[in-house]
Chains A and B, each alone.
Chain A
Amino acid sequence: MSAATADVATVGHRLALQRRGTVAVLVLVVLLASLRYGDAFYSGINLTSYFDDAVKYSLIALGMTFVIMTGGIDLSVGSVILLAGVAGGLASPHGAVVAVLVGVGTGAAVGAVNGLLIAHSRLEPFVVTLATLLWARGLGLQLADTQTVVYGSGALTSLARDKIFGLTTGFWLMVVLFVIAAVVLKFTAWGRTVLAIGDSEESTSLLGVPTRLNKFSVYLLSGALAGLAGVVLGSQTGSVSMDTGVGWELIAVAAVVVGGTLLTGGVGSIGGTLAGLLLLQVIFTIINFENGRGGIEINSYWQNVVRGAFLLVVVLLQTGVGRGRKKS
């Protein structure tokens, strides 16, 4: 017992170091980029497109962080974005509020199915959400009749274009949600339980904490956030195409891992996930800039190679830091 606690403490320390590293690299990269590209880097178009992407990814990464903290995984978020985006789009003629409610509700419903099967029936999260990845996408395609779903030019699409202090409403939505999530994780019983389950579900359960309900709610939350991401996407681009969300679950997982959350659960950070995501996205923005300058010839295909290489560097550093600490 004490050995296990010490282990978690070491791992926690190591990951805290990594988070600081991620934030430091993010700041450094942004500074270097602003030196190199000047004001263009902060131009309205660049900031808007950067944060438009970041908002969508960050919403699913946020839900994924909680899921991973319990030691689980949610592979279905990419498909939920499609399904909820389609559902929200079909509801959008009835007004912005209805569209958001329908989108989030659809996502939450799918998340509830995942949660029931994982928390109550105790099935493996990986396979349950893999199956959901299949059926939720099938349902979304069927619902949309495999045609792109258009969000009318209603209140929702104009809301997405509105700006507060020069930044989109989506950006502020992201900031507010991450702050709330960080507070909830740190200061509520629910948040502490999430980490406790990831550390040792058995011990947590023995202490009388309702672990099943907590696990269920984590998948519910992940689904709801993915649903919200679907509606946000629809409002940003005005439509939801049928290839939406393919592979996005892994973008989210990558951001969570880079942000210093342990994939086996028990240790993690909300801010780290945001830093990890922003860092990955800023690197792709820089690649675009370099292409624009003609300095390097990197086509968009390199984006995935860079993402993979970055992930590799991070996990290798993680194990490297861990070994260094073990020896000392």
Chain B
Amino acid sequence: MTDLATRPAETSVLRKIDWPTFIRRYGAAIVLALLVLFNIIFTENFLDLRNILFVQLRQAAPTAIVALGMALVIATGGIDLSVGAVVALSGQVTAVFLLDGVPPLVALPIGILVGVAAGLFNGTLVSRFGIQPMIATLVLFTAGRGLAQVVTGGRIQTVNQPIVEFLGLGVVAGLPISVFSLIVVTVAIMLVTRFTPAGTKLLAVGGNERAAGLVGIRTKRVKTMAYVVAGGLAGFVGLLELGRIQASDATNAGLNMELDAIAAVAVAGTTLAGGTFSPGRTIVGVLMLRLLQNTLVAHGIPREVAQIAQGLIIVAAIYLLRRSRDAR
């Protein structure tokens, strides 16, 4: 808008658009669209609904759910390095309970509770004890996967149970269960953040914690809640991953998921400084990074090179974020 006031001579519509900001906001979506277009033309059977739903989206959904939790935490100005380890821990605890013959109705909620407890632990360290989020969540990042390995004794054991099969291969309302869950989680988070005071409080705490406290927001509680939700979602994804692998695997379940989630949030044009939250763009970020990797690998480019491309995309994204005028 300031452009209009200071430079009235310019009439072209294109000039009036704040390009850096536009690219920051919609860059990931544009790259995603280009990738989809490329795949429609050059990749066989890409447009097949089964491929889209049951390969591409199903692969991306667990990371996307974790990334939504991460976006909540980042909105408060924090970071959660522990989510990958929590995915492993919740999955392994559930697997061990199921193998011991505990009914799924008990074992599955325990998995999610493990995640919630982890989130509560992180949130308490960050908000009550004032420990920097990176260090606070580093504790569980390190110990969480270790605990998961202790729980399973490091063994990979097949879990042959209908409920685990359902978590991995189940179809709900025509959608793979992970995609269905992603939609439910997204809608729930959008409703809560848009239509209840929780969303405003979240952004207020991330934007200026002291000011938020002064206007009567219980900043500690808000921050703790963000970590609890992130932990709970990671716990749930632990169950999905257990279903995907159909076995206990403490070493690989959820490995590097925190990095993928942070990368997606960054690519989505969200500053890690806090104060912004956009579930839609976060999911676009996850889909974009995942499809980029799949596209490169599908066209014979080694996975290592695809990894290099992913790194470069992240740098490009935050470079644009820095350039854009509404970056804080």
B314 interface neighbour in A131, A146, A315, Cβ under 8 Å: A131
A138 touches B146 (CB 8 A): no
Q: Which of A18-26, A40-48, A204-212, A301-309 contacts B (4 or more CB under 8 A)?
A: A301-309
- A138–B311 contact, CB under 8 A? yes
Cβ–Cβ contact A304 & B315, under 8 A: no
* C-alpha spacing A133/B263, complex, angstroms: 11
The answer to whether B154 touches A134, judged by C-beta atoms less than 8 angstroms apart, is: no
Distance in Å from the Cβ of A240 to the closest Cβ of chain B?
15
A71 to chain B, nearest CB (A): 11
What chain A residues lie within 8 Å of B314 (beta carbons)? Answer: 127, 130-131, 134
Question: How far is B131's CA from A257's CA once the two chains are assembled, in angstroms?
Answer: 12
Q: Are B142 and A250 in contact (CB under 8 A)?
A: yes
Q: How far is the CB of B8 from chain A (nearest CB, A)?
A: 32
Report yes or no: B146 in contact with A305, Cβ–Cβ below 8 A: yes
Once the chains are docked, how many angstroms separate the CA of A111 from the CA of B65?
33
Is the C-beta of A139 less than 8 angstroms from some C-beta in chain B? Answer: yes
Residues on A with C-beta less than 8 A from B144 are 308
| A305, B143: Cβ atoms closer than 8 Å | yes
Partner of A305, one of B130, B150, B302, B310: B150
Most buried by A among B135, B310, B311: B311
Cα distance, A127 to B311, chains bound together (Å): 10
Q: How far is the CB of A92 from chain B (nearest CB, A)?
A: 21
Contacts of A123 in B (CB 8 A): 315, 318-319, 322
A85 CB, min distance to chain B CBs, angstroms:
15
Q: State whether the Cβ of A122 lies closer than 8 Å to any Cβ in chain B.
A: yes
Contact with A along B127-167 (1 / 0, CB 8 A): 00111101110111111111101100110000000000000
Query: Within 8 Å CB of B263, what residues of A?
Result: 127, 130-131, 134
User: What string of 1s and 0s marks CB contacts (under 8 Å) between A214-225 and chain B?
Assistant: 000000000000
B179 contacts the other chain (CB 8 A): no
Q: How many residues of B contact A (CB 8 A)?
A: 46
Whether A128 sits at the interface, judged by CB under 8 Å, is yes
Expressed in whole angstroms, the Cα–Cα distance for A135 and B139 within the complex equals 26
Tell me if A176 counts as interface (CB < 8 A to partner B): no
Is A172 interfacial (CB 8 A cutoff)?
Answer: no
The answer to whether A135 touches B311 (Cβ under 8 A) is yes
**A137 CB-CB contact with B under 8 Å:** yes
Cβ–Cβ < 8 Å partners of B81 in chain A: 250
User: In the bound complex, what is the Cα–Cα distance between A306 and B150 (angstroms)?
Assistant: 12
Residue from A126, A135, A301 within 8 A of B272 (CB atoms): A126
Q: Are B150 and A299 in contact (CB under 8 A)?
A: yes
**Interchain CA distance A123-B320 in the complex, whole Å:** 10
* A128, A130, A301: the one within 8 Å of B150 (CB): A301
Given contacts A127-B266, A316-B129, contact A132 B311 (CB under 8 A): yes
Report Cα–Cα, A315/B147, bound state, in Å.
20
Please indicate the chain A residues that have their CB under 8 angstroms from the CB of B35 in the complex.
Answer: none
**Residues 20-45 of B at the A interface (beta carbon under 8 Å):** none
Which residues of chain B are within 8 angstroms of A303 by Cβ–Cβ distance?
146
A250 touches B312 (CB 8 A): no
Contacts of B132 in A (CB 8 A): 263-264
- Flag A305-328 by CB within 8 Å of B: 1 or 0 each: 111110110011011000000000
Beyond A130-B262, A302-B146, whether A138 also contacts B305 by CB under 8 A is: yes
Question: Which has the most chain B C-beta neighbours within 10 Å: A73, A135, A302?
Answer: A135
B224 shortest CB reach to chain A, Å: 16
Chain A neighbourhood of B169, CB < 8 A: none
Residue of A nearest to B271 (CB): A124
Task: Select which of A121, A130, A139, A257 is within 8 A of B135 by beta carbon.
Answer: A257
A319: B residues at CB distance < 8 A = 129-131
| A312 CB contacts on chain B under 8 angstroms | 125, 139, 143
Cα A264 to Cα B131 in complex, Å, equals: 11
A142 lies within 8 A of B304 (CB)? yes
Say whether A131 contacts B305, CB under 8 Å: no
B53 within 8 A of A: no
A301 lies within 8 A of B305 (CB): no
Q: Pick from A121, A135, A254, A257: contact of B312, CB below 8 A.
A: A135
Asked if B51 is at the interface (CB within 8 A of a chain A CB), the reply is no
Whether the Cβ atoms of A134 and B131 lie closer than 8 Å is no
* A101 CB–B CB distance under 8 Å: no
Asked if A299 and B153 sit within 8 Å, CB to CB, the answer is yes
* Shortest beta-carbon distance from B252 to chain A in Å: 12
Q: Is the CB of A315 within 8 A of B146?
A: no
Instruction: Kindly state the separation between the CA atoms of A41 and B15 in the bound complex, as whole angstroms.
Output: 72
Q: Please name 12 pairs of A and B residues whose Cβ atoms are closer than 8 Å in the assembled complex, sorted by A.
A: A117-B319, A131-B311, A131-B314, A136-B311, A141-B304, A253-B138, A301-B149, A302-B150, A303-B146, A305-B143, A308-B146, A319-B131
**A-B interface, 4 closest residue pairs, ranked by CB to CB distance from nearest:** A308-B143, A304-B146, A135-B311, A138-B307
Residues in B lying within 8 Å of A, measured CB to CB: 79, 81, 125, 129-132, 134-136, 138-147, 149-150, 153-154, 250, 259, 262-263, 266, 271-273, 302, 304-308, 310-312, 314-315, 318-319, 322
